[in-house]
Structure 1
Amino acid sequence: MSIDGVSGRTSYIGTTILNLRNQLNDLTTQLATGKVSTTYAGQGLDRGFALSLRAQISGINAFSDTATNLNTRLSVANLTLQGLSDVGTQVKNAATTATLTLNDSGQTSGQITAQAAFANAVAMLNSQSGDRYLFSGRAMDTPATVSADTMLKGTATQAGLSQLINERKQADQGAGMMGRLSVSSPPATTTVTSIAEDGSPFGLKLLSVQSSLTGGATVTQPTGTPKTSSVDLGAVNPKDGDKIKFNFTLPDGTTEAIELTATTTNPPPAGSFLIGADTAATTANLQSTLTSSIKTLSDTSLVAASAVAASNNFFNPVATVSGAAVNNQNTPPAPISGATALSGAAGTDSLSTSFAAGDTITVNGTPITFVTSGATGNQVNVTDSVQTLMAKIDQISGTKNPSTISNGAITLHGADGESLSISSSNTAALGALGIANNTTAAPAPLRVGGPPFDTATNLVAGTPGNTVYWYTGENGPGSARGTAVAQVDQSITVQYGARANEQAFRYLLQNVAVYAAVTTNASNPNASAQVTALAQRVSANLAPQNGQQQIQDVQAEFAGAQTATKAATDRQTQLKGMAETMLDSVEGVNQDEVATKILALQTSLQASYQTTSMLYQTTLLKYLPIS
C-alpha cells in the first residue's frame, strides 16, 4: 500500500486556496480596469446587451464627427454668403453715390469699387473647407469658377465679358446709330411718319405711341412682325404744345420714352419739333427731330441696357438650336421668312415640304400638333406661318430670348440654364425649316453672330473654344442643395450643397461684373448720360427682386441645416449619456464593493494559508506515545 503525498493537486484545502487566489486575481483586475471582465465571455448573460450598447455609442460618435465637419463647412459657407451680400450692398451704394468723373481708363470711382468687389466675390465663391470646394456642386475637387480676370477679359482665344459687351453694343446701336429702327415717310404721302423695327433681336423695340396731337393727326400703334408704327398729321397742323410720346423696350427689358412737343418757337428747344407752314413741312420736322432723338437714346440708355443684356447672356447660359439656311418653294425659290406658310402648293411662299394635319413637333417632350384649322392650346394650323410656329415653340420652351429667322435660317433658344430638344414626326418638313430631327442643344453663353456686328441678325451660342464659360463646377440635374448630403442621425439627412451658378449668386455676379467691365469714352458728349444710365440699372438690379432667389434665401436654408444638425446632436448627446450609463451597469463594477471583497478574500486566503501550513506540519509521530 502506497501513501500519496499531500499536494495542491490532491488536497481539497489546496484546491480551495487556488480558487480563492483566482477570485482575488479577478477582483484585482476589476479594481484596476473598472470592468467586470476584460472579455465578453466574462460578462455573462448581459454580453449581447453590452454589444448592442457599444454599437449604439459608436454610431453616435460617428454622427458627432459628421456633425462637426458639417458645421465647419456650413460656417465657412455662411461667411461666404454674408460676404457676397456685403458685396452687393457695397456696389449698390457705389453705383448710387459715385461721381461721374471718368479716369484715364474711362471708368468712374464706383466702377473701380466694383472691380475690386467682383474679384472678391469670385474668390469667395471658390471658398474651400479642407479640400472641398463649397460652391462647385458635386465637383468638390474643382474650383467653382474661372478667375475674375478671365471672366472680364477672356483669354487669347476666348472672349470674355468685355468683348461680348462691345459686340452687343454694336449690334444694338446698328450701323446708323438708330437702335436698329428706321424713320421714314411712305412714298405715297408726305404727312406720314413711319417708324419700324428691322426684325433682329437687337436694338430698340416699339412698345406704344401716346399722342395729344390735335388737328387731323392719327396714330397707328406698333403692330406686325417686325413691328411698325406711324403718325399721320393729316391736313391740319397740331397746336403749339401738343405732344407725342414714343415708348420703347430696351434689350435689358427696361423701357424708355421719347416725348416730342410741337412748337412755333424757332429754333425749337430740345425735345420739340417746329410746326411748319403745312403738315408736310411739320412732318419733315417731326421726322428730323425723332431721328435725332432716337440717335441720342441709342447712344445713352441703349448703351447701358445693351451692356446689361450682354452680361445676362454671358452669365446666364441658354441652349440654342441654329438651323441651316433653307428656301421656300416659291418661283423662284427664296429664303424662308417669318411669313412663310407651313404648308402650301408649289410656286408659293411655303415650306418646300409641307406639314400635314396630325403631324407633330416635340419640344422638350411637349408635342405641338398640326391641325387643319381652329388651333387651340399646343396646336398650330397647317396654314399658319413660320413665325406662328416659332412663337409656339418659344411658349413651350419658356425662353426669354425670342426665336429669330434671318436669311432663311431659324435660331431657337431655350429657357435660362435649360437644354433644348426638338424633333418631329414629319422629318422632311422639319428639315424644310432647316432643323435636323432629334436636335438637342445644351446651355451656352449667347453672343452676337458676327462680324459684322452692327448688322447682325441673331444671337448664337458661344463655344468653349471661342467664349469663356465662367462656371466650372458640376451642373447636373437636381437641386444645388442636394449635391452634398450628410447623415446626422439614423433617419435624418441634411442637404448643404451649393452651386456658384445659382440664380442669387449669378445675378449678383452679372450686375457687379457689368458695372466693372464697361468703359466710356470721355470725349463723347453723351458720356455722362451713359454712365448714369448704367449706374441706375446696376443699383436697381442689386435691390431685392420679387420672385427671385436671394442670397438671404440660401442663408436661411443653411441655417435650417444647422438647426437640424444641432437638434440631432443634442438628442444624441442625451442618448449617448443614457447608453453609457446602461453600459457601465453591465460592464462596470462598484469599486468600493470590489475593494471590500478583496479585503475579505485576503483575510480568508491568509487563514487558509495558516491552516494549511499547520496541517502540513502534522505527522504520525506527534500522535505516538513517548516511551
Structure 2
Amino acid sequence: MIVNKTMFPVQTGFSVISQMQQQLSDMQMQLGTGQKASTLAGMGRDLPMSLSVRSRLDKIEGYKGNIDIIDLRLSFLDKSMTRFDGIESEARTAVTTGDYGTNDINMATLPGLSLARLDEVVTMLNQDVAGRYLFGGNVTDKPPVQTTDVLLNGEGGRLGYRQILSERLAADQGTDKMGRLSLPAVVAGSGAVHLAEDGTHPFGYKLSTISTNGAPAIAVTQAAGTPKDLSVTFSAEPTPGQHVIIGLTLPDGSETQVTLTATTDAIPGDGAFTIDADPDVMAANFRTALETSLKQKSGGELQAASTFAAANDFFDDNGVPKRPAGGPPATSLVDADPNDVVFWYAGQTSADPRASVAAKVDDATTAKYGIQATESGLLKLVRTQAALAVTQYPVEADVRAKPSIEQIRLDAMALPDDATRVAKLEEYEAAVSAGYRQSRELFDGMASRQQKAMSEGHNSEAGSIERITMDLSVATMASHSATERHTNYKNQLENLLTNVETVSQNDTAMAILALQTRLQASYQVTAAVSKLSLSNYM
C-alpha cells in the first residue's frame, strides 16, 4: 500500500501563492507606469468609461485640427479684407469731381494709380494659403480671377476689357457721336426741332424728360411709347434767359440734362442759342446748339457712363461677360463666347457665398467663411479701378496736339496776317477749349461714378466689404468660442480619464508591502506544512 508523503493540500497552497505573485507583478507594473492595466482587457469594469472618454478626446482633437486650419485662413482673410477696405478708402479720396490738380496732375496720374490699385486687388484675390485659393467659393484649386494684363488686354486672341469697352463706346456714341439720337434738319415753315432715339436697344442716350419756361413762344412735346421722340416748336421770340431742358438717361442708368438758353448774342456761348424773329432760323439755331451739346457730352459724361456700363458688362457678377452684338451700330447685348472673350472669373457663383466653404468646429457649430470675388464690394473695386485704369484724360497740351485741332492752327497760320487768320485762330482756340472742357467733363463723370460706387452708403449692402468682414468676424468668434469650450472640456475629460485609468502611487506601494508580507507568510507556512507526513510519526 502506498502512503502519501504529506497530508497537506500543497497544490492548493501553490495556487494561492501563484495568484498573489501575479497580483504582486500587476501592482509592480502599476507602480512603475501609474496605469491600472497595460491592456484594454485589464481595465475590467472601467473599460466602457475609458473607451468613451478617449473617443470624445479624439473627436476634440479633430475639431481642434479644423480650428487651426480655419484660424489660419481667417487670419489671412481678415488681413485681406482690411486691405480691401483701405483700397476702397484710397480710391474714394484719390479723385473727386473738379479736383484736377495743379497743371491737371490728377488727370494725368489717375490712370496709372488706378491700374496699380487694380493690380493689387487682383493679386490679393488670387493669393493662396497653403495651396488653397480663398476668393472663389468652393473652387479652391485654381486662381479665381485672371491676371490684370489678361483682364484688360485679353489673351490668345480672346478680347479683354479694353476691346469690349471700345465696342460698347462705339455702340453708345454712334457713328455721328450723337449718342444714338437722330436730329433731322428743320423742315421749312415748321419752326420745329425733332429729336428721337434710333431704336429699341440698351445703347446711347434715352430721352427721359423735356421742359421749358419759355411758353407760349416755345412749345415742347414728348410722344409716348418706345423708341421715344420729342419736339421743340418756336412760334415767337422767347425772352433772353428762357430755356429748354432735355433730360437724358445714360447707358449706366444715371441721369443728365442738356440745357439750352435763349440769347441775343450773335455768337452764342456754350449751351445757348440765338433768338431770331424767323421761327425756322431760331429752330435751326436751337438745333445747332443741341447738336453741339450732345456731341460735347458724348465725349464727356456719355463716355464715362459707357465706360462704367462696359465694366458692368465685362465684369458680370455671374462671371460671363456680355458684349454688343448686331449692327453696326450694335442693337443688343449678348453673352460672350469663351473662345472670343476672356472670362474674368473662374470661381463659384453661389447665392450664399459664406456657406460655400464651411467647417464644423464642434458638434453643433459650423464656421462659414466662403468668399467669392463676384460679391458686390469686391466687384465694385475691380470694376471701378479697371474703368479708371483704361481711360485717359487729355490735358490742354494733349488737346492741342490732336491732329484734327492742330490742323486748324496750321490752316490759320497759312493764311495772310489779317482778320481771316484771326478768325481762324479764334476757331482753333475755341476747339482747344471745347476739347479740354470735354476732357474735364470725362474726368468729372468718372470721378463721380467712382465716388458713388465707393460710397460708405453701400456698407450695409449684402456682399459689401464691411458685411463680408462682419461675417468673417462671426466665423472667427465661433471658432474661438469653440476652442475655449474644447479646452475646458478636454481638461475635464483628462481628469476623468486619470481617475479611471491610473492608480495612486502611495496606495499601490502600501498594497505591495501588504501583499509582500502575506506572500512571505504564505511561503513560510507552505514550506513548513509541506514537510508533514504520516511516515514521520510512525
Query: Normalised by the size of structure 1, how large is the TM-score?
Result: 0.73
Unmatched tracts of structure 2, length 5 or more: 400-434
Please state how far the C-alpha of 1:619 moved relative to its aligned partner.
9.8
CA distance in 2, matches of 1:109, 1:281: 46
Contact residue 99 and residue 108 of structure 1 kept, 8 A: no
1:221-300 aligned within 5 A: 221=222, 223-234=224-235, 236-300=236-300
Amino acid at match of 2:449: R
Secondary structure of the structure 2 residue equivalent to 1:158: coil
Please state how far the C-alpha of 1:188 moved relative to its aligned partner.
6.4
> Structure 1 98/144 Cα, relative in aligned 2: closer, same or farther at 3 Å?
farther
Aligned to 1:216: 217
Aligned to 1:483: 356
Aligned to 1:324: none
CA distance in 2, matches of 1:213, 1:549: 48
Deviations 1:109-131 (A, max 9, x none): 22212111111111111232222
CA distance in 2, matches of 1:308, 1:451: 22
Q: Does 1:503 align with 2:361?
A: no
Please state how far the C-alpha of 1:294 moved relative to its aligned partner.
0.8
> Structure 1 614/38 Cα, relative in aligned 2: closer, same or farther at 3 Å?
same
Secondary structure of the structure 1 residue equivalent to 2:95: helix
Aligned to 2:322: 446
Deviations 1:598-619 (A, max 9, x none): 2222333344445556667899
Aligned to 1:434: none
CA distance in 1, matches of 2:326, 2:3: 121
Contact residue 308 and residue 384 of structure 2 kept, 8 A: yes
Q: Does 1:457 align with 2:331?
A: yes
Deviations 1:221-260 (A, max 9, x none): 35331110111112x2101111111111111122221111
Amino acid at match of 1:458: S
Aligned to 1:604: 518
Deviations 1:318-340 (A, max 9, x none): xxxxxxxxxxxxxxxxxxxxxxx
> Structure 1 13/313 Cα, relative in aligned 2: closer, same or farther at 3 Å?
same
> Structure 1 149/451 Cα, relative in aligned 2: closer, same or farther at 3 Å?
farther
Aligned to 1:123: 123
Aligned to 2:158: 158
Amino acid at match of 1:24: L
Structure with bigger helix share is: 2
1:296-307 aligned within 5 A: 296-307=296-307
CA distance in 2, matches of 1:590, 1:9: 37
CA distance in 2, matches of 1:282, 1:567: 77
CA distance in 2, matches of 1:98, 1:258: 23
Please state how far the C-alpha of 1:532 moved relative to its aligned partner.
2.9
CA distance in 1, matches of 2:254, 2:371: 31
> Structure 1 53/4 Cα, relative in aligned 2: closer, same or farther at 3 Å?
farther
Amino acid at match of 2:513: L
1:66-215 aligned within 5 A: 66-96=66-96, 99=101, 108-185=108-185, 187=187, 189-199=189-199, 200-215=201-216
> Structure 1 557/548 Cα, relative in aligned 2: closer, same or farther at 3 Å?
closer
Amino acid at match of 2:445: A
1:558-573 aligned within 5 A: 558-573=472-487
CA distance in 2, matches of 1:9, 1:64: 61
Amino acid at match of 1:126: N
Aligned to 2:366: 493
Q: Which of 432, 436, 442 is equivalent to 1:530?
A: 442
Aligned to 1:466: 340
CA distance in 1, matches of 2:145, 2:16: 80
Point out the more displaced range, 286-295 or 522-531: 522-531
Aligned to 1:584: 498
Contact residue 185 and residue 191 of structure 1 kept, 8 A: no
Deviations 1:6-35 (A, max 9, x none): 8x9945444343222211111111122222
CA distance in 1, matches of 2:222, 2:510: 106
> Structure 1 512/98 Cα, relative in aligned 2: closer, same or farther at 3 Å?
farther
Deviations 1:320-379 (A, max 9, x none): xxxxxxxxxxxxxxxxxxxxxxxxxxxxxxxxxxxxxxxxxxxxxxxxxxxxxxxxxxxx
Secondary structure of the structure 2 residue equivalent to 1:487: strand
Please state how far the C-alpha of 1:504 moved relative to its aligned partner.
2.2
Contact residue 152 and residue 162 of structure 2 kept, 8 A: yes
CA distance in 2, matches of 1:163, 1:100: 32
CA distance in 2, matches of 1:92, 1:35: 67
Q: Once superposed, what is the RMSD of the aligned Cα atoms?
A: 2.9
Aligned to 2:415: none
Unmatched tracts of structure 1, length 5 or more: 318-416, 418-442
Aligned length, in residue pairs: 494
Amino acid at match of 1:140: T
Aligned to 1:539: 451
> Structure 1 548/205 Cα, relative in aligned 2: closer, same or farther at 3 Å?
farther
> Structure 1 445/616 Cα, relative in aligned 2: closer, same or farther at 3 Å?
same
Contact residue 250 and residue 256 of structure 2 kept, 8 A: yes
Deviations 1:572-604 (A, max 9, x none): 333222222222222221121112112222333
Amino acid at match of 2:386: A
CA distance in 2, matches of 1:127, 1:615: 87
Structure with bigger strand share is: 1
Contact residue 9 and residue 15 of structure 1 kept, 8 A: no
> Structure 1 450/263 Cα, relative in aligned 2: closer, same or farther at 3 Å?
same
Bigger RCO of structures 1 and 2 (CA < 8 A, at least 6 apart): 2
CA distance in 1, matches of 2:295, 2:338: 36
